[in-house]
Structure 1
Amino acid sequence: MIELKIELMKNVLTLTLLICAIAFTGDVIAQDFSGMDKSPMDMASYPSDYKISDKAVRVIYSRPQLKGRAVADLAPAGKVWRTGANEAAEITFYKGATIGGKKIDAGTYSLFTIPGEGKWTVILNKNLNQWGSYFYQDSSDVVRVQAKASEGDDSLEAFSMTFKEVDGGVHLVMGWGTDRVAVPITFVM
């Protein structure tokens, strides 16, 4: 009889612990998650082949949409732009490189641009984790280069970046609407 009572107490204790575990787990599982970002984050890298793990450069940025607006209204000429949406874009060079003919060390930099007629100023800045360009400080610039701007045939609804292999290096190509900007990059071997 005592053995039966002990067994019954073990079962009650086990059941109580199980109920408590489920109750506390419910609080952990019932977390609130934010909805989809209106300007989703994206990444471009070179080489872009996912089978190649030895990357030379990678850029992480958010992709704003035009939604009937003009590029010039969202990225005004002559003003520092975060080069995307939300946080300032960040570019990581995994090896030394030259960008627009200017040498830079391997590392991660914030990427800002100043749109202009026929050319954009491309800025690498040492301050990371910046929201937009609100706290941008030109005293923290590592390099500023001019990049050729042109018009594309197709209009891109979402701001986009990609790397295009060219003789002697790559171009970081940025596009939005019909605007295209090509930033020449070569890598130090």
Structure 2
Amino acid sequence: MKKFYSAISATILTAVLFISATATAQLDFLPRGSQAASVSQRIGNTDVSIIYSRPSVNEREIWGALVPYGMNNFGFGTATESPWRAGANENTVFKTTHDLTIGGKALPAGKYGLHMIVNEDNTATVIFSKNHGAWGSYFYDPSEDALRVDVTTNEIPHTELLTYSFDEVGANSAVASLKWEKKQIPFTIETDVTANVMAEIRQQLQTSPGFNRQTWEQAAGYALNNGGNLDEALGWVNGAIEGQFFSQKNFNNLSLKAQILERQGKTAEAKAIMDEAMPLGTVFEIHSYGRQLIAQGKKDDALEVFKWNAKEHKGTWPVDFGLARGYSAVGNYKTALKHLKIAASRAPDQPNKDAIAAYITQLEEEKDIN
């Protein structure tokens, strides 16, 4: 639907706009009828923001009237056909610190003018323009479009002030929505968090955070646990272990290296690294390693680790608790019960005493405590 304003209307509108612009340039602190606002959301490590002005309904007819359907000639500026500015006053601005996909289409990191074409049939087109500095959409040029996404609008309870919000926020996505009067215009934002973080890690390792061992360990751990490049992760953890002025071999980074090797299918190399790591570990680190092996289904290996821990840290907490878990994992409940009763006498606090009491009952019923 197209609307064409008379020459007189255009002249009045132009005058009003220039007077408003002049006043704003001189006294930019004066209150406006449509107040400025912004809303932001972090998705992974990506910051997404919308900066806009908030008109009110004020008992006016909005859709198809104050906001005309389709593209329109507003009688001012260089655009012969303009979408709605998706707010009031200057451009509504959409910013993202990393690349996104919106409605399944790519939008590079950057700053965009946000416009919308609202249709009569409960659909809309969301437009991201490379021109983010213009006033409204009077200078809209389709050649400057970075992205257009067609969406379905929803009917919602009355919303007096035009409002943007981020809904359904997940680990990798969110739904951004414009809500005004009884209409919601949503669009889905997604970003590759792992790729973004990995790129940020590469950059950070070249700056001051890269001058300490823990940063390299943290980087390797992120890549391992979030689907990053395992060869890259292995290089990072190797840097933490040896070869740099900050390197130091310890149980944690050797264990991390073993996990990376295991994920790469290099089981024998991973086991050799853990054999090297165990003498460097505390009684609690070795205990945790044994529990990890049980979780991986390596029950016999876990029992051997718990035995090693009991020999190296004889008579300390929680070696007998570990032995109980190890023997229980392989189905030797009688021996597990014996060690669990010893562990009960060494438990350092009431929560552990309570947990052991419950486990004793399970073992007496010949049920695995893991």
- 1:86-120 CA-partner distances (Å, limit 9, x unpaired): 00100001111101110111100000000112211
Looking at structure 2, the residues matched to 147 and 165 of structure 1 have their Cα atoms a distance apart, in angstroms, of: 16
Question: Which residue is equivalent to 1:38?
Answer: 33
Distance 1:36 1:135, change over 3 A: same
1:85 aligns with 2:82: no
Compute the TM-score of the two structures, normalised by the length of structure 2: 0.40
Distance 1:144 1:33, change over 3 A: closer
Question: Which residue is equivalent to 2:183?
Answer: 179
Letter in 1 for 2:191: F
2:143 is paired with a residue whose SS is helix
Q: Give 1:130's match in structure 2, choosing from 130, 134, 143.
A: 134
Looking at structure 1, the residues matched to 100 and 27 of structure 2 have their Cα atoms a distance apart, in angstroms, of: 43
Question: Which residue is equivalent to 1:97?
Answer: 100
Looking at structure 1, the residues matched to 53 and 93 of structure 2 have their Cα atoms a distance apart, in angstroms, of: 10
Question: Which residue is equivalent to 1:58?
Answer: 49
Gaps of 5+ in 2: 1-25, 72-82, 194-370
Looking at structure 2, the residues matched to 171 and 84 of structure 1 have their Cα atoms a distance apart, in angstroms, of: 18
Distance 1:33 1:89, change over 3 A: closer
Question: Which residue is equivalent to 2:151?
Answer: 147
Higher relative contact order (CA 8 A, sep 6+): 1
Distance 1:101 1:155, change over 3 A: same
Letter in 1 for 2:96: F
Looking at structure 2, the residues matched to 61 and 33 of structure 1 have their Cα atoms a distance apart, in angstroms, of: 16
Looking at structure 1, the residues matched to 28 and 68 of structure 2 have their Cα atoms a distance apart, in angstroms, of: 33
Distance 1:129 1:155, change over 3 A: same
Compute the TM-score of the two structures, normalised by the length of structure 1: 0.76
Distance 1:38 1:98, change over 3 A: same
Letter in 2 for 1:69: R
Deviation at 1:62, TM superposition (A): 0.4
Distance 1:33 1:145, change over 3 A: closer
Deviation at 1:172, TM superposition (A): 0.6
Gaps of 5+ in 1: 1-30
The root-mean-square deviation of aligned C-alpha atoms, in Å, is 2.0
Q: Give 1:75's match in structure 2, choosing from 52, 67, 70.
A: 67
1:74 is paired with a residue whose SS is coil
- 1:4-45 CA-partner distances (Å, limit 9, x unpaired): xxxxxxxxxxxxxxxxxxxxxxxxxxx966531100110011
Deviation at 1:188, TM superposition (A): 2.2
Looking at structure 2, the residues matched to 32 and 123 of structure 1 have their Cα atoms a distance apart, in angstroms, of: 31
Looking at structure 2, the residues matched to 32 and 187 of structure 1 have their Cα atoms a distance apart, in angstroms, of: 40
Deviates more, 1:31-40 or 1:129-138: 31-40
Letter in 2 for 1:37: R
How many residue pairs are counted as aligned between the two chains? Answer: 154
2:86 is paired with a residue whose SS is coil
1:66 is paired with a residue whose SS is coil
Name the larger-Rg structure: 2
Q: In proportion to residue count, which structure has more helix? A: 2
Question: Which residue is equivalent to 2:124?
Answer: 120
| Mapped contact 1:95–1:188 kept (Cα < 8 A) | no
